[in-house]
């Protein structure tokens, strides 16, 4: 089973709209990270939120973390066509040395 599961699996929106993706995880964490992947190749780290933080911002990104519900959300505001990508949440498991990724949300931003 996945440590992180995301929903929705796919999301299609118009440019300028906001996109929200959710992630649930199973075990206790030190931090939770979000990554973006374009065209099935290398991933790019977007943002890291520590377990003692509830909300974090970076540019048009806003991440929330609720450790009591073991869930996180990623909000992209004022989306652009260039935001079209797959987004993954990830947490360290396996004694803290193994980064386990969620199933991912495929975001499509249309002009």
Partner 1 sequence: GAGVSQSPSNKVTEKGKDVELRCDPISGHTALYWYRQSLGQGLEFLIYFQGNSAPDKSGLPSDRFSAERTGGSVSTLTIQRTQQEDSAVYLCASSPMTGVYEQYFGPGTRLTVT
Least spacing, CB of residue 25 vs partner 1, in Å: 13
Assigned token pair, 95? 């004694």
Contacts of residue 91, Cβ cutoff 8 Å, sequence gap at least 6: 3, 4, 25, 27, 29, 31, 32, 33, 99, 100
Write each residue from 45 to 84 as x if it is in contact with partner 1 (CB under 8 A), else as -, in one continuous string. Answer: x--x------------------------------------
According to CB under 8 A, which one of 1, 69, 97, 111 is a site residue for partner 1? 97
Query: Interface residues with partner 1 (CB under 8 A)?
Result: 2, 30-31, 33, 35, 40-45, 48, 88, 92, 94-104
């Amino acid at each position: 089973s996945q440590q992180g599961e995301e929903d929705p699996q796919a999301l299609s929106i118009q440019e300028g709209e906001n996109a929200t993706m959710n992630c649930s995880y199973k075990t206790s964490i030190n931090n939770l990270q979000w990554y973006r992947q374009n065209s099935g190749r290398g991933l790019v780290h977007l943002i890291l939120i520590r377990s003692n933080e509830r909300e974090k911002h970076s540019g048009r990104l806003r991440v929330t973390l609720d450790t009591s519900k073991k869930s996180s959300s990623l909000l992209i505001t004022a989306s652009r066509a260039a935001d079209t990508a797959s987004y993954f949440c990830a947490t360290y498991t396996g004694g803290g040395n193994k980064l386990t990724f969620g199933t991912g949300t495929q975001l499509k931003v249309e002009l």
